[in-house]
């Protein structure tokens, strides 16, 4: 693995600008992330991701996307079908556990078909947050259910469906965003729930999936652990809870460093993310001035972080032999949702 900086970056549009190409070549981010602004046609997406990888000189540079289904789905028709939100899979699971698990696996497997043909190799899925009454709707029906057992079971089925299709899953938002009373894109929520309840409810699905290759942090303060810092910048949350208690030793990336839940300038935020123990910083919006500030404070991937990054990429295997048309038909028969191929 050639030397990379410990960051995942976005781009401003559907094609790389001269400035972006020069910046990526100089700074060598470990990976990239795509949003709706980067997406036009299949050929354009394939060209964009190829150009990103060419800039950093690594054919295996991971390209991420948020492709959950429901309201968080960057690829839309005609590029990919509209998939149901996770809560609908949870409702099916409540009626018929086998059908629910199979549907979760199939939907993730279908995401993998959609993504891999475009050169996208990592999906920020599954959402393992467990919402509670009165929480902000930023998670809402993105969650598989309102109990940790349902969320863990369907989350594992989804993660395994992605892996079977040659796409890396990212569990989010560790150690749990379901109780947050604010949208972290806009402000910083504080959760005052006792630690014993957090362990039993919020943290349980993440502990159950601690063997997954990658996780994304929550910009949420858990006052029972650290009353000052959100998980993303809290050594206590990362070392004591995520690493030691949950046993997660995969690659830990921050949620988007440009979200308003974090404070300080971009250099300060980036410093705090690495000081807390995150392996990689995520910057999504493609704004060059912000990316320069992030890059200036981002170290080269080394030591444990580099080992975790390499280990994550090794989890990406050749897709299984599932036939796409048959998988789409089976998903439709189980869920009543027709999801045509692009």
Classify residue 270: in a domain, yes or no: yes
What pTM does this model have?
Answer: 0.96
Residue 342 lies in a domain: no
Give 191-227 pLDDT, tens digit per residue.
999 999 999 999 999 999 999 999 999 999 999 999 9
Alpha-carbon distance of 147 to 63, in angstroms, equals: 31
Place of tokens 């290759």: 213
pLDDT (0 to 100) of residue 217: 97
Would you please indicate which residues are annotated as catalytic (active-site) residues? Answer: 185, 255
Task: Give the pLDDT mean for 305-318.
Answer: 98
Among candidate residues 206, 100, 84, 103, the one with its CA nearest the CA of residue 142: 84
Check pLDDT > 90 for residue 263: no
> pLDDT by residue (tens digit) across 40-82?
999 999 999 999 999 999 999 999 999 999 999 999 999 999 9
CA nearest neighbour of 290 among 281, 280, 278, 299: 281
Q: 341 lies in a domain?
A: no
In a domain, 340, yes or no: no
Confidence of residue 295 (pLDDT cuts 50, 70, 90): very high
> Could you tell me the residue range of the domain that residue 118 belongs to?
5-335
Whether 257 is in a domain gets the answer: yes
Instruction: Tell me if 23 is assigned to some domain.
Output: yes
Closest CA to 76 of 121, 43, 124, 114: 114
Q: Into how many domains does the chain fold?
A: 1
Q: What CATH number corresponds to the domain at position 324?
A: 3.20.20.300
């Amino acid at each position: 693995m050639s030397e990379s900086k410990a960051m995942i970056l976005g781009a401003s549009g559907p094609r790389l600008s001269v400035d972006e190409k020069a910046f990526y070549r100089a700074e060598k981010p470990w990976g990239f992330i795509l949003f709706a602004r980067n997406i036009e046609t299949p050929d354009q997406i394939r060209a964009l991701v190829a150009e990103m990888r060419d800039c950093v000189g690594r054919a295996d540079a991971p390209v991420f996307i948020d492709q959950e289904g429901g309201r968080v789905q960057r690829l839309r028709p005609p590029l990919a079908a509209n998939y149901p939100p996770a809560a609908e899979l949870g409702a099916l699971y409540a009626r018929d556990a086998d059908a629910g698990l199979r549907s979760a696996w199939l939907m993730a497997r279908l995401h993998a078909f959609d993504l891999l043909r475009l050169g996208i190799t990592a999906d920020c899925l599954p959402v393992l947050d467990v919402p509670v009454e009165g929480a902000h709707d930023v998670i809402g029906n993105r969650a598989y259910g309102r109990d940790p057992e349902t969320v863990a079971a369907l989350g594992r089925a989804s993660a395994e469906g992605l892996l079977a299709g040659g796409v890396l899953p990212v569990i989010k938002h560790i150690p749990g965003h379901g109780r947050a009373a604010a949208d972290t894109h806009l402000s910083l929520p504080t959760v005052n729930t006792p630690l014993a309840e957090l362990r039993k409810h919020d943290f349980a699905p993440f502990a159950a999936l601690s063997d997954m290759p990658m996780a994304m942090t929550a910009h949420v303060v858990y006052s029972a652990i650290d009353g000052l810092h959100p998980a993303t910048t809290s050594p206590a949350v990362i070392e004591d809870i995520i690493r030691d208690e949950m046993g997660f030793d995969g690659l830990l990336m921050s949620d988007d460093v440009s979200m308003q839940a974090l404070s300080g300038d971009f250099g300060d935020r980036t410093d705090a993310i690495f000081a807390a123990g995150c392996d990689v910083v995520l910057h999504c919006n493609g704004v060059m001035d912000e990316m320069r500030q992030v890059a200036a404070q981002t170290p080269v991937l080394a030591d444990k972080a580099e080992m975790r990054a390499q280990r994550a990429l090794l989890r990406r295997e050749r897709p299984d032999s599932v036939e796409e048309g048959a998988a789409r038909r089976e998903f439709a028969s189980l869920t009543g949702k027709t999801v045509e191929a692009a």
